[in-house]
Structure 1
């Protein structure tokens, strides 16, 4: 039988709807609404779980034209949050962005639209992270965003480990609206244009809302910012991260390809205590007419500065359509539908392709750089090379993506019970085309062997010879999801001073993902560029129940339970218990406890062999040689593959908080949160593997050792594992104050803080004898884990003017350790956003504003190639914008 869900399933809900006897709510009854984190409708927004709501005006105040620009400023956002910043030819999720709540990863944060799931992006981030691409949702279509800040697997299922981001679409448009925004950066690049048309109508029978949004952003290159314009960051006190794959490059020899006589002719760099002579095997190209520039020779390697040629932010163009509507079908029954479609184009550029000993040249090749020097020790020696194919230009890629989402359903009332059924179908697809600067390894090797291309004398090559091995690449990906869900909720029986309410429901979901690079990638013929391959699908069926009981007049208890059955790894059951207590009218005490899980993503289960080119410090070899190539970041080939034996991540979380409404104008809320995860799924990482297991030939493949001196790294084998556990806890603080004056207008102050007390994670470590063990690392305050973040702001309104001023703070944190084990302190970072709007014109609003008003540079992070941490800080600088909105 064909897997999936058909429209026949929707027809079932239609028949059931017709069989229900409906009843209208009594006139004047208090409206009950469904809040994020519960399937039971309630009369107030403040439930037992902590929810932060971000309104459309809050989003506008950030100055961001896309959702990620606003959400990444939230204090609750942490490690794993990413935007398109840092997208280059080496990125595997070009054009995508997502948020990671609590720093637990984007794949542990569930993203919903109007309370329902969304298909993940077809291309995973950093090879391993499946995520919902927030760029598919324009800001103009958003009414508000609810951020549920505790685990919610008992309510929503997999991935809701750290919390939920529920994006509520606009349903309040009545008439016709047009809006436009233009912006530019102070330091160049990243100019934006955004135009939006909105129209809709609302009657007592329903409402219909349409949005058409156009967004365009120009690219930003690292060279557009003076502090990121070079990979040699020593002028800022950072590392020299120039590529070890240079132009025209370096020559490398391996012991296995040399005779004893040839090996004995190599220069001796030192003699070990036992008399073993350690010989030089890497040489910068300084022979012939085309030589490595003297300022690019560091140690034995010809380096290359790739920074000026890399995209910091790729150029993007998106057109998005959204419809959101409800229409009464009969008394007490209404149908609803949501449709979204988007076409997006992204252009990415990276430096010329690097090779790391993939290409070789025989000793008798006429183009051998020492062919005319018979007395040289490399004459007639088979060699490999580290070089950039600058000859054929920088790598350039276009990514064209399509996104479609449809939701159709009905809701109504049967006696005292409310019911809802819906069918959803979502598909996201992308085609990535590499159209310039990509070499085919097999053809390049053939060109070397046949004399068509001389890699050591680039000036002598012909266009015909270069065209022989330059190629175009294609990568196709798609992600789809179909689901059928239904809920029924109402009051079970009277209890004390209220009623015990309940909700029961089900969800059946079918997911499929395809990520297929062309045959050149699959045959390993494209070097220096990452591309993933993954194909898999799964079915999932879930049933759930939820209860809300008024134990006392001022004490509410919430219970939830969800059982999920997966076709590819088994089943899981997750409970949640929460309470809401109001000891006095001005104080609310709330708490929750529950378990959560994250199913292994289809990428983590089914990823085929994938090559990447991480920069790694070979710390053990550095201790032995002291060579720059071993003691500074050097690129190596790492091979990553999926693991079908993975088990789901499991977690336990609890939250305890209090809200004090001191006066009508002042409130303060404090929440303590705690997460305990087990069987964490992670790609171990090239640096971690080299640090812990650098002598294990199954994990780190090296050239033969010379005496006790380890051979150079040739290849690193990485995969996904259930690595162990993670524990983190902390505090959230929310303060709001409203000041109304007769002469200065109205001032609304707010302060939001997330303070992490602990962030411990299990990892691998090895002792001096090479024995591997699992240890616990405290990452709090370490790289990409600042201890706290806060935002503070004031909104002011008076007569025809509205203004806001906000501060965004990211705490300092320690960078990754260098070869000596020392850690640089990355400075804290504070930026200021502001805007002023004039609403005195009839139906017209004009706004001028700026993000990062004082043009604060991103602080130095020495471990990063260009000296900035793209996932924590932004290099865009000051961005000034002008926008208007008109209602007809």
Structure 2
């Protein structure tokens, strides 16, 4: 991926002139193109801002059948990048994927198609993250991807904080071609089938390009990977993350439900210094015929291993159609159109739904586990329970999504000025259906009260009783965006060093998002499963200007400014200043400074009450009790809601770099980057709230304290806040070398490195007096923030053979703290991808390849339930494939 081009390489396409005057005239006709990061057309690709380009062949060399598989391997990708891996019935954006540049979050990376915005997914990731789903863009339709690696709000507006991913669609299809690919993993599951039909035509009046793409991937379960097949990771030296909601479960008592005599009859587990007797309040079900497996009774709780029943990667089937074309309308005016449509079906499975004290049983209920033992201290006591409704099966969901994108526009030139105007309409919708394993809480309670369902003796239950409280769920979401934009660019006047070029433009955009679960969710009748609710819309008007000033023949200055007016929070103005200095032909020094912003997403503003079931370590209670249930990850109910008072995130960034083309065959680029964000918008997070504010009853609701011992957590209240600031900096290194040999063929070597020097984030915690204080959390080298990532590769071709070999490395980093404050080091991870193609047939290319050739297991991450950090590493293992491409 060469990023530096000499002017002579571009001008070589100019028709041969017959005189000096004619040559000068022809040079003035060199085609100018618009490059990512600027609205001003230019004659070379190397502008003031660092841009990394991936060609279609680069994408193919990764072995990935979708964009996320290729983009997540880039060193510039960081924390917040996610794929479909790790999707489960608890996920709020099943089947989606996106990239987070610089680790600043997917919502801070702007994704464009042919330079224009795309509507976000209707379902936010992890409740809080609005993102453009990269799975809506088939890799077969992509000509190249430009990655702008500095802030670009002055050019593109909101969300371009960390940079821009601009996906350029194919416009060069000639004739008819078909391609197909099949692949499978070495450890089972995840088999893929992909078939593509492409056809197109072009002439001097325009071009038209069509594609049809079919993609199918089988699911992978955690049980398919021996190292992740259980949530009890102690065999690897990790945590026991078995669920505290088991089968047949545990009896839990709540102080408010007991009389004084019943409370005093409970076993005493500890006596505090002041004489307070701390009593046991949770007991594994060991009574009757159906008892908890003794091997799963840990810390007086009946545990459950949900890992074997959980999707690691959901099954997916996609049908996609894409068209883009250009047609001359009249002299100097051409129309263009783009249209995309996609249907996707995704299947996800999770273990049976867990309950955490949502269900109760009266002490007089004949099915009470101690009903026949009047001597037991729990006899006649009203109880709640921790229980998993495995009786009605594993939770299963289908997500059917539709995606439509249409762009109509015209472009041309008038008196040496280029102009373009376009209207875009994008709609993304999804319907999520829970069709098996979902209990209705109200009807489940009725079934308990009437004796229709006995949760403590599951072997006695009837199909009729189970059907009474099993339900189906529905969640509907849509995200729409309409926009009208226009630009005009050209030369203003001439200086000694050349013409000042300028671009002026506008954009008006309307966005709307709907995310509506069914009435059961809204009434709080579905437990153990997450679903979001958000409804909101906004309109935005922007005007912008950009100037390219040739200060010297070797020095170009770029100035840009953009003013935006939002209907829901106000206005913002963002400038950018950049320069490109080339003292000699082989050397380019470049730099940029600018401000950027991210508007609060519609989800963050308008999210309704949403229930989560996160696993949390109650560290303060652990220090008091030492009990395993407090010192190991335990599931609790967390309630999240939006915040209409949020302010936009603001950011300042600068970049300074140099590109040196040392020889015709060797080039090196080094860039230093720095981002400084303020008013960072974040969901605080259940673990952070418990760590910082575990005694704040407005944030963490607990059972009554026993003396000085904190009560057990009942509920965590979370929301979005402008939490503070974030600062990160580091540098990128890019090397390329080309080697020509007489007998061994041609070799192209490349090396790309991203090294983070710093990643500090402002957060808060409580001091010894319980007061909330702001602190700086240095996350560089911490959980999901490795300091170093690099890739290297070599492309080789000789005669009828083409081969690639690439190596990807993610450095080691520290895991989250355990209950003792210790941090496990997650090992570095290096994988190798390779392809071999034979091009000797007429019109036919055959390729075999493998991603993760040596089947390197994902490093152990003890804080994760199944021991794998799905957002940093992949558990797919080796994925071998064969594919063909035939051109008619």
Which range, TM-score by smaller chain? over 0.9
Secondary structure at the aligned position of 1:459 is classed as: helix
> Counterpart of 1:746?
746
Alignment of 1:426-505 (within 5 A): 426-505=426-505
Q: What corresponds to 1:260 in structure 2?
A: 260
Please state whether the residue corresponding to 1:227 is helix, strand or coil. Answer: helix
Partner of 1:806: 806
What is the DSSP-based 3-state SS (H/G/I as helix, E as strand, rest coil) of the residue aligned with 2:127?
Answer: coil
Matched residue, 1:125: 125
Mapping 1:587-602, distance limit 5 Å:
587-602=587-602
1:179 aligns with 2:179: yes
Answering whether residue 866 of structure 2 is matched by residue 854 of structure 1, we say: no
After superposition, give the CA deviation of every residue in 1:240-269 in whole Å (9 maximum; x if it has no partner): 100000010001001111111101110000
Partner of 1:687, secondary structure, is: helix
1:108-507 paired onto structure 2 within 5 Å: 108-507=108-507
Instruction: Give the Å deviation of 1:81.
Output: 0.1
Distance in 2 (CA, whole Å) between partners of 1:59 and 1:352 is 39
CA distance in structure 2 between the aligned counterparts of 1:591 and 1:177, rounded to whole angstroms: 43
Q: Does 1:844 align with 2:830?
A: no
Q: Report the alpha carbon displacement of residue 466 of structure 1 after superposing the two structures with TM.
A: 0.1
Tell me the distance in 2 between the aligned counterparts of 1:812 and 1:346: 33
Q: Which runs of 4+ in 1 moved over 6 A?
A: 25-28
Q: Distance in 1 between matches of 2:857 and 2:497?
A: 58
Task: State the Cα distance separating 1:97 from its structure 2 match.
Answer: 0.1
Tell me the equivalent position of 2:539.
539
- Secondary structure (helix, strand or coil) at the match of 1:160 reads coil
2:89 paired residue number: 89
Q: Distance in 2 between matches of 1:246 and 1:411?
A: 64
The CA deviation at 1:770 is 1.2
Pairing of 1:436-835 with structure 2 (within 5 A): 436-835=436-835
With normalisation by structure 1, the TM-score equals 0.97
C-alpha displacement at 1:27, in angstroms? 6.2
More displaced 10-residue stretch of structure 1: 158-167 or 264-273: 264-273
| 2:346 partner SS | strand
1:59 and 2:55 matched: no
SS in 1 for 2:273: coil
Residues in 1 aligned to 2:256 and 2:319: alpha-carbon distance in whole angstroms? 56
| Residue number in structure 1 paired with 2:873 | 873
User: What do residues 146-202 of structure 1 show as CA deviations (whole Å, max 9, x unaligned)?
Assistant: 000000000000000000000000000010000000000000000000000000000
Provide the rounded CA distance (Å) in 1 between the counterparts of 2:821 and 2:764: 16
Q: 3-state SS of the aligned residue for 2:85?
A: coil
**Per-residue Cα deviation, 1:68-101 (whole angstroms, up to 9, x for no partner):** 0000000000000000000010000000000000
**Deviation at 1:769?**
2.1
Query: CA offsets, 1:837-878, max 9 Å, x none?
Result: 000000000000000000000000000000000000000000
Distance across 2 between alignment mates of 1:310 and 1:614: 16
**Secondary structure at 2:464's aligned position in 1?**
helix
Deviation of 1:782 after TM superposition, in Å, equals: 0.2
2-side partners of 1:479 and 1:273: how far apart?
58
Quote the Cα distance in structure 2 between the aligned partners of 1:865 and 1:300.
Answer: 20
1:9 corresponds to which residue?
Answer: none
Q: Deviations over 1:763-815 (max 9, x none)?
A: 11112221110100100000000001000000000000000000000000000
Q: Tell me the distance in 2 between the aligned counterparts of 1:157 and 1:293.
A: 57
Alignment of 1:42-57 (within 5 A): 42-57=42-57
Task: Quote the Cα distance in structure 2 between the aligned partners of 1:537 and 1:370.
Answer: 54
Aligned to 2:13: none
1:329-385 deviation per Cα after TM superposition (whole angstroms, max 9, x unaligned): 000000000000000000000000000000000000000000000010000000000
Give distance in 1, aligned partners of 2:558 and 2:632: 55
Offset at 1:113? Answer: 0.1
Q: How does 1:27-46 map to 2 (within 5 A)?
A: 29-46=29-46
Q: Secondary structure at the match of 2:816?
A: coil
Measure how far apart 1:496 and its partner are: 1.3
Give 1:26 deviation, angstroms. 7.5
RMSD: 0.7
SS at match of 1:841: coil
Write the distance in 2 (CA, Å) between the matches of 1:260 and 1:225.
50
- Is 1:885 aligned to 2:882, yes or no? no
For residue 479 of structure 2, give the secondary structure of its aligned residue in structure 1: strand
Aligned length: 864
Please give the secondary structure, in 1, of the residue aligned with 2:226. Answer: coil
Alignment deviations for residues 572-625 of structure 1 (CA, whole Å, 9 cap, x no partner): 000000000011221100000000000000000000000000000000000010
Unaligned runs of 5+ in 2: 1-23
Q: Equivalents in 2 of 1:192, 1:446: separation in Å?
A: 45
Distance 1:497 1:752 in 2: 35
2:5 counterpart residue number: none
Deviations 1:697-749 (A, max 9, x none): 00000000000000000000000000000000000000000000110100000
Separation (CA, whole Å) in 2 of partners of 1:675 and 1:744? 45
Instruction: Give 5+ residue unaligned stretches, structure 1.
Output: 1-24
The whole-number CA distance in structure 2 between the counterparts of 1:331 and 1:691 is 68
